[in-house]
A and B are shown apart, each in its own frame.
Chain A
């Protein structure tokens, strides 16, 4: 159990670092969506199903959609 949680936390931190290093803004947004999704799974391990549902629906789905629409209206690559 603790091995699974440690692997998930390591993957979450790796995705956050990937969001730092990607120059393509679309890839950075997908990496931050992965951070939100793994945080939602960790909320479930911390016995908080309400918060997991809120993070998965609002943080991972709607926030990513809003980011992608905003990137479409401005530039895709970081200059």
Chain B
């Protein structure tokens, strides 16, 4: 009975969506903002990756809102799963074999290096702060799963996270004070394209965002995993 009602509701919603979608042609968008960003992105921001120039250059304020939402979600998760003391030991399974722990220990710095490469080159190649941060969090997840019992230090993690957010806001305020009359203006020199040190404040913002997101997602996994080990 419930399934029949659900299918009827879905049929109505599907009809509405199909009627709406038939007006959107595929493959021929008629927007003018996108081509304008493509044409003048390289001169305005200095970045070569146009998606980076939109995310961190033209629409940097929206990215500030996004990392605020991430921060609030991580804080909410920490508040929901709060324990005053960590449950100690009590692991009566057999410990992980030496092949597993040695392999995880040697892979960990390599994956960290890969994540750092991704967010440092966000203005040159596909990538950026969020992707690099997720790869850093996967490196910590590998250590949690492989070498059981190793954890990230709570105080150190939260200070890196706060520092990343402060650097972002600080760069915006410095742009307000230095160059012009708006927040997050590009006040550092743009350099030549295709170089690592180019594109003004974009690499600095992405380093801050990459470290912040990486440590934040690691903290989320750490809080969730607390009870099971």
Q: Footprint of B on A, CB under 8 Å?
A: 48-50, 52-54, 57-58, 61-62, 65-66, 69-70, 72-73
| Chain B: minimal CB distance from A55 (Å) | 10
Contact A57 B220 (CB under 8 A): no
Encode B134-157 as 1/0 by CB contact (under 8 A) with A.
110110010000000000000000
B217 neighbours in A (Cβ, 8 Å): 62
From B127, B138, B220, B227, contact of A53 by CB (8 A) = B127
In the complex, B101 has a CB within 8 A of chain A: no
Known contacts A57-B131, A65-B141; 4 further A-B pairs (Cβ under 8 A): A48-B51, A50-B127, A54-B130, A73-B227
Main secondary structure of the interface of B (DSSP, over half): helix
From A50, A57, A58, A66, contact of B51 by CB (8 A) = A50
- Chain B: interface residue total (CB-CB under 8 A): 21
B220 neighbours in A (Cβ, 8 Å): 66
B141 neighbours in A (Cβ, 8 Å): 62, 65
In the complex, B177 has a CB within 8 A of chain A: no
User: Tally of A-B residue pairs with Cβ under 8 A?
Assistant: 46
CA distance A51 to B126 in the complex (A): 9
CA distance A27 to B128 in the complex (A): 32
In the complex, B224 has a CB within 8 A of chain A: yes
| Chain B: minimal CB distance from A66 (Å) | 6
Contact A69 B49 (CB under 8 A): no
| Chain A: minimal CB distance from B117 (Å) | 13
Q: Can you give 30 A-B contacts (C-beta < 8 A)?
A: A49-B126, A50-B51, A50-B126, A50-B127, A50-B128, A50-B131, A52-B126, A53-B126, A53-B127, A54-B131, A54-B134, A57-B135, A57-B138, A58-B130, A58-B134, A61-B134, A61-B138, A62-B134, A62-B137, A62-B141, A62-B217, A62-B221, A65-B141, A65-B221, A66-B220, A66-B221, A69-B221, A69-B224, A69-B225, A70-B224
| Chain A: minimal CB distance from B44 (Å) | 19
CA distance A73 to B49 in the complex (A): 42
In the complex, B228 has a CB within 8 A of chain A: yes
B135 neighbours in A (Cβ, 8 Å): 57
CA distance A62 to B141 in the complex (A): 9
A-B CB proximity, top 5 nearest: A49-B126, A57-B134, A53-B131, A58-B134, A69-B224
User: In the complex, which of the residues B137, B138, B141, B224 has the most CB atoms of chain A within 10 Å of its own CB atom?
Assistant: B224
CA distance A73 to B221 in the complex (A): 13
CA distance A49 to B138 in the complex (A): 20
From B49, B224, B227, contact of A50 by CB (8 A) = B49
A69 neighbours in B (Cβ, 8 Å): 221, 224-225, 228
Contact A72 B228 (CB under 8 A): yes
